[in-house]
């Protein structure tokens, strides 16, 4: 870097030559003791002219100084004089070496650049083969020993393949001994080579565990046994030869999760809920899957379809199911309402399992509706709400349609009210009687601590309806406009009062930035909530979801 690679220059009466300097050499004319003489000689020298090499002269083979870099030109071909060179320079010696700042900065920039990871889109693609990424994680061996018997060949004779999935295939088999001797079964073969993460291994363990726990249900496929060897895991199940879901065979993959938000994409693409693709979901995703199954059983086609898995995911996020083509015009209004309220992209507006069992399309007087965990959550919110919000919810309960009251009455009776009222003891006793493993793993027990205020008061059915309803679910109802109008009329008579924008924002847990959004919620005539303000107050307003851009 200390060498000079500038063009050489000669006096008109001198032979052309080129000069180079190393880092440890002092350039002639640059020393302190003869600097003045050099300046004087430079001033007296005639104009400098670029020279061209003379053929056959080794000393004048190039007009350029020696360079550590190889010339890109062929041997003996000199570079052309730079048209941007300074004409008529008055200096005897070439220009000083270029500043090392630029090469150093270039080197630092190149060194500081890191390889950018590919941008993760909102729609996940096929991740097969990407689970066993490199680095330190790949060095940690995975325990792929499940503890299952390893003698499947002694009990079953495997036959031809009858189906193939993402992580394995299913083949026909015949029992050799035991209770299934001579019977045909289906064996799902899951390759251990594709279990590249600890999560994938745990998924297989959980699948076998769930199949065992559901074994014996008359509407579920029968599970027989599980085996393994060094390469595969074998799950022996009942052989269903009638077809698949489009042939009226339900999927066994739809199971309830624990009461917690999950963040992994699992399940078939056709049944996956929108919130699963956003990697934050809970039991509401199962109700979406029930809606997809019901849609297919009613019309014989899938509500969301594309040629690729990523295309299906895009359809789930953006498209709406088709209820116009045949046979939907001939399907009952109650059946369509059932499917629509399950295939709502907003998981807060979806029916729960208990609400679906209370729906007029499938409701049965002989079947008891189970206790809904959702009731405990809504009552908890009601107890912690302000008096103004409780008044708004009480008014909303006045407009509840009859089909919704059936569900609320069933839940109220499960609490075993005394003299038409319930208290904290009723909630605690009902939870003890109907507790499940999912409830134990969730934080439902902790909700009872929030309901402590009910220890000092009793709640009748009318107030219970106000505490148990969900504004989001009522919004998904076909008669929401009528429900909201009826509720607002009651609110005008009983609960509406003068309120300022600041107080309304405080009631809705919003900051000063939301005051402009709430200005149209209060009537200028009397300072009370308008119909628009009432619905916003029930639903809630977030600045992020509000589009304030002009159209």
C-beta neighbour count of 543 within 10 angstroms: 12
What whole-number distance in Å separates Cα of residue 334 and Cα of residue 288?
A: 17
Residue with tokens 């995703």: 285
Distance of CA 434 to the CA centre of its chain: 33
Q: Which residues in 34-140 belong to E strands, given as ranges?
A: none
Classify 190 as helix, strand or coil.
Answer: strand
SS3 call for 10 = strand
Known binder of ligand: residue 188?
yes
CA distance linking residue 75 with residue 334, whole number of Å: 89
Q: Which residues contact 381 (CB under 8 A, 6 or more apart)?
A: none
Nearest to 183 by CA among 213, 156, 210: 156
How distant, in Å, are the alpha carbons of 18, 104, 107, 287 from that of 4?
10, 17, 20, 76
Angle among Cα 494, 497, 503 to the nearest 5 degrees reads 135
Which letter does DSSP use for residue 271 in this model?
G
Q: Report in angstroms the alpha-carbon separations of 291 from 19, 87, 152, 278, 304.
A: 85, 83, 38, 19, 12
- Report residue 235: phi and psi, to 5°: -115, 115
Distance of alpha carbon 197 from alpha carbon 403, whole angstroms: 47
Nearest to 262 by CA among 223, 211, 313, 206: 206
Return the H-helix or E-strand segment holding 156: strand 156-164
Residues 6+ apart with CB under 8 A from 252: 211, 214, 220, 221
Distance CA 135, CA 123 (A): 26
- Which of 312-326 are b and which e, b meaning 16 or more Cβ less than 10 Å from the residue's Cβ? bbbbbeeeebebeee
Q: C-alpha angle 501/504/508, rounded to 5°?
A: 135
* Whether the Cβ atoms of residue 302 and residue 119 lie closer than 8 Å to each other: no
When computed from its CA atoms, the radius of gyration of the chain, rounded to whole angstroms, is: 39
**Smallest Cα–Cα separation from 231: which of 136, 315, 153?**
153
The helix/strand/coil state of 407 is: helix
Binding residues for ATP: 188
Binding residues: 188
């Amino acid at each position: 870097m200390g060498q000079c690679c500038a063009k050489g220059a000669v006096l008109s009466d001198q032979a052309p030559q080129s000069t180079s300097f190393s880092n440890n050499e002092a350039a002639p004319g640059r020393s302190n003791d003869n600097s003045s003489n050099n300046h004087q000689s430079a001033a007296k020298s005639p104009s400098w002219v670029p020279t061209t090499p003379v053929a056959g002269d080794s000393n004048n083979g190039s007009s350029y100084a020696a360079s550590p870099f190889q010339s890109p030109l062929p041997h003996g071909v000199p570079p052309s004089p730079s048209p941007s060179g300074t004409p008529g320079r008055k200096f005897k010696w070439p220009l000083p070496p270029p500043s090392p700042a630029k090469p150093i900065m270039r080197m630092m920039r190149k060194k500081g650049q890191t390889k950018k990871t590919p941008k993760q889109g909102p729609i996940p693609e096929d991740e097969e083969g990407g689970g066993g990424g490199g680095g330190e994680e790949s060095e940690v061996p995975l325990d792929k020993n499940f503890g299952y018997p390893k003698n499947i060949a002694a009990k079953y004779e495997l036959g031809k393949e009858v189906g193939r999935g993402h992580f394995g295939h299913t083949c026909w088999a015949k029992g050799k001994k035991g209770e299934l001797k001579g019977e045909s079964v289906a064996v799902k073969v899951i390759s251990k080579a594709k279990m590249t993460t600890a999560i994938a291994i745990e998924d297989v363990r959980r699948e076998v565990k769930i199949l065992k726990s559901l074994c014996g249900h008359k509407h579920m496929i029968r599970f027989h046994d599980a085996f393994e060897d060094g390469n595969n895991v074998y799950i022996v199940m009942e052989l269903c030869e009638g077809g698949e879901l489009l042939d009226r065979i339900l999927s066994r993959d739809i199971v309830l999760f624990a009461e917690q938000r999950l963040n992994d994409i699992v399940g078939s693409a056709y049944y996956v809920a929108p919130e699963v693709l956003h990697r934050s979901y809970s039991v509401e995703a199962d109700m979406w899957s029930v809606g997809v199954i019901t849609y297919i059983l009613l019309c014989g086609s899938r509500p969301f379809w594309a040629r690729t898995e990523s295309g299906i995911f895009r359809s789930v996020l953006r498209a709406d199911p088709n209820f116009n083509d045949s046979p939907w015009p001939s399907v009952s209004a109650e059946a369509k309402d059932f499917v629509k309220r399950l295939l709502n992209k907003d998981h807060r507006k979806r029916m729960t399992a208990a609400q679906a069992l209370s729906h007029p399309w499938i409701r049965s007087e002989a079947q008891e509706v189970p206790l809904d965990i959702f009731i405990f959550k809504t009552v908890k919110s009601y107890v912690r709400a302000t008096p103004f919000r409780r008044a708004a919810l009480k008014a909303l309960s006045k407009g509840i349609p009859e089909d919704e009251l059936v569900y609320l009455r069933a839940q109220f009776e499960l609490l075993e009210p005394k003299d038409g009222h319930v208290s904290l003891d009723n909630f605690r006793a009902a939870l003890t009687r109907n507790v499940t493993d999912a409830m134990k793993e969730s934080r439902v027990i902790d909700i009872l601590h929030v309901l402590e205020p009910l220890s000092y008061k009793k709640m009748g059915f009318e107030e219970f309806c106000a505490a148990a309803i969900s504004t989001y679910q009522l919004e998904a109802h076909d008669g929401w406009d009528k429900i909201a109008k009826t509720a607002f009329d009651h609110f005008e008579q009983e609960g509406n009062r003068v309120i300022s924008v600041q107080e309304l924002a405080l009631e809705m847990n919003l900051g000063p930035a939301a005051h402009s959004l709430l200005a149209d919620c209060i009537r200028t005539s009397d300072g009370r909530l308008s119909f628009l303000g009432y619905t916003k107050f029930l639903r809630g307003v977030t600045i992020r979801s509000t589009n304030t851009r002009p159209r």
